[in-house]
Amino acid sequence: MNLLCEHIQKVVDISKQHGVDVLEVSDGWTKIKQVVHMKSGLTSELKKEIEEQQLCLRYWSSPKTPHNAGDEGFTCDACKVGITFPQ
């Protein structure tokens, strides 16, 4: 897997240590170059460990709606790469 951001790669590595694998990597978005979609959710322990790395990532959350599943994740605004976890 060739990720365009070393910060998001670090999040993927930490996530794998917690048993959370990558579902897919997508690109071609308008404002983001690449998005890593994870198979399972972001636990509080995993979120804490990611935030302790001080990777200059912006955390975001999008609640579930009748038309979309909820998700949350991190975005590297410098590299324009994100990672998303289902809620």
Q: What's the structural domain count of the chain?
A: 1
The answer as to whether 59 is a domain residue is yes
pLDDT tens-place string over residues 14-61: 999 999 999 999 998 899 999 999 999 999 999 999 999 999 999 999
What's residue 2's pLDDT?
A: 87
List the domain range (segments joined by +) for residue 58. 29-86
In a domain, residue 21? The reply is no
Say if residue 42 is exposed, middle or buried (CB neighbours under 10 Å; 0-12, 13-18, 19+).
buried
pLDDT digits (tens, 9 = 90+) for 64-78: 999 988 999 999 999
Stated pTM of the model: 0.92
pLDDT for the residue numbered 14 = 96
Backbone CA torsion sign across 18, 55, 65, 68: negative
